């Protein structure tokens, strides 16, 4: 019997793990094509097909194969949901924009909803519901694009970190489905795609877009030099308050509204720090190994104390906003009371040692806290719209 047939027959009788290892060695020494062997893409990332050992794994022996495969999970294309109906070549770019993960979009979008509702409470004349709805839709489209550009930029800068973090190692750039150059081109294309939206907004809104873009651009570098990247992240999110004021012809830096607007701005910054620090606990072990800095790493043993302190200050700033802007008790009940209950519940119930718990509270915190703030402000706006006198809380003006 020819030698290669003898080898193949023997291979078929071996256990699967050992067979993969020996098969790799035989094929390599006989100079045959090597399915599943290590390859490098243009990013220099080693790629392999699932189910086969790499050369290094073969040298370590079959006993370590299963563990190695578990440590380096294979990518499985989406089989359900929105991404499953896209052309395969589009899927990595949709994943780069996180289109299949809405929680991150809430982080971008809720500050704009809060900003629109706040600006509607203090501007004169009071905008119509139709105008409010149109602005909300415009900012939703803008935030899908903004979030996509920010994520693409972040993933490109962080690709070396992502390959060391279990939750992130299968992101499109980290796994090699999108090259570094393609990622930068995609980021630039998304940025340009968002520019036409400003044609529907007052010109002064463009002045606020620049610091938002710059701050999001700086964020991935912050985690390399400071344990406080969440603070950096909080500012571009909160800057939506200023942009929305400009969209409704309110000067956020004018003497009349500077202090209440700044107070609401800082409340949003503190909220971002709180929920993103809790979110970062998902990856805290991998982050420490990879050298990623975050407030979750810095305050690993006192995160709930930190979150409690920040939340108390946040609620104080929300109360200050209402007082400075002369808002009615409607706002205090919804925005301040609702936010206090939501933050207390999250801090009390989240289990920081369980990634699933951190992810769940990250997702729903936007609806609980963001919904409370936006709901209180929207109720205040509706009262103003229908002629309710805030001074008497429930008595309509004649």
The β-bridge partners of 288 are: none
Report in angstroms the alpha-carbon separations of 2 from 7, 9, 33, 67, 138: 9, 11, 20, 35, 71
Cα 85 to Cα 97: distance, rounded to the nearest angstrom: 16
Convert the pLDDT of each residue in 340-362 to its tens digit. Answer: 999 999 999 999 999 999 999 99
N-term to C-term CA, the chain? 104
What's the mean pLDDT when you consider all of the chain?
Answer: 84
Specify the 3-state DSSP secondary structure of 396.
strand
Which helix or strand (DSSP H or E) is residue 333 part of? none
Convert the pLDDT of each residue in 141-192 to its tens digit. Answer: 999 999 999 999 999 999 999 999 999 999 999 999 999 999 999 999 999 9
Q: What is the pTM of this model?
A: 0.80
Convert the pLDDT of each residue in 202-240 to its tens digit. Answer: 999 999 999 999 999 999 999 999 999 999 999 999 999
Convert the pLDDT of each residue in 276-307 to its tens digit. Answer: 999 999 999 999 999 999 999 999 999 999 99
Cα 9 to Cα 29: distance, rounded to the nearest angstrom: 18
Highest mean pLDDT among 3-12, 39-48, 294-303: 294-303
At 15 the pLDDT is 41
Specify the 3-state DSSP secondary structure of 341.
helix
Convert the pLDDT of each residue in 358-384 to its tens digit. Answer: 999 999 999 999 999 999 999 999 999
């Amino acid at each position: 019997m020819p030698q290669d047939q003898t080898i193949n027959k023997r291979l078929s009788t071996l256990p699967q793990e050992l067979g993969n290892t020996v098969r790799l060695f035989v094929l390599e020494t006989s100079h045959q094509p090597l399915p599943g062997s290590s390859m490098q893409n243009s990013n220099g990332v080693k790629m392999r097909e699932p189910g086969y050992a790499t050369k290094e794994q073969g040298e370590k022996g079959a006993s370590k194969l299963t563990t190695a495969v578990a440590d380096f999970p294979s990518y499985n294309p989406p089989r359900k949901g929105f991404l499953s109906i896209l052309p395969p070549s589009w899927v990595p770019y949709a994943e780069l924009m996180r289109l299949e993960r809405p929680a991150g979009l809430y982080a971008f979008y809720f500050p704009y909803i809060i900003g629109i509702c706040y600006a509607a409470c203090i501007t004169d004349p009071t905008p119509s519901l139709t105008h409010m709805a149109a602005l909300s839709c415009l900012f939703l489209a803008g935030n899908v694009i903004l979030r996509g550009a920010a994520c693409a930029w972040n993933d490109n800068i962080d690709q070396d970190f992502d390959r060391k973090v279990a939750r992130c190692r299968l992101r499109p750039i980290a796994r090699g489905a999108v090259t570094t150059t393609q990622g930068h081109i995609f980021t630039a294309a998304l940025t340009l795609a968002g520019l036409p939206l400003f044609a529907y907004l007052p010109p002064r809104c463009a002045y606020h877009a620049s610091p938002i873009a710059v701050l999001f651009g700086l964020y991935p570098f912050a985690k390399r030099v400071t344990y406080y990247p969440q603070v950096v992240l909080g500012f571009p999110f909160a800057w939506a308050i200023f942009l929305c004021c400009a969209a409704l012809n309110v000067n956020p830096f004018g003497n009349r509204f500077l202090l209440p607007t700044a107070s609401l701005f800082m409340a949003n910054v503190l909220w971002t720090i709180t929920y993103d620090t809790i979110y970062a606990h998902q990856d805290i072990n991998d982050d420490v190994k990879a050298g990623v800095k975050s407030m979750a790493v810095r305050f690993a043993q006192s995160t709930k104390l930190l979150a409690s302190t920040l939340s108390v200050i946040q609620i104080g700033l929300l109360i200050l906003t209402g007082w400075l802007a002369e808002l009615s008790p409607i706002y205090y009940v919804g925005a301040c009371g609702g936010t206090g209950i939501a933050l207390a519940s999250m801090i009390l119930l989240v289990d920081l040692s369980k990634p699933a718990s951190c992810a769940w509270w990250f997702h729903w915190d936007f609806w609980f806290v963001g919904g409370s703030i936006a709901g209180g402000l929207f109720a205040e706006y509706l009262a103003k719209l229908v002629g309710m006198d805030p001074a008497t809380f429930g008595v309509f003006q004649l």
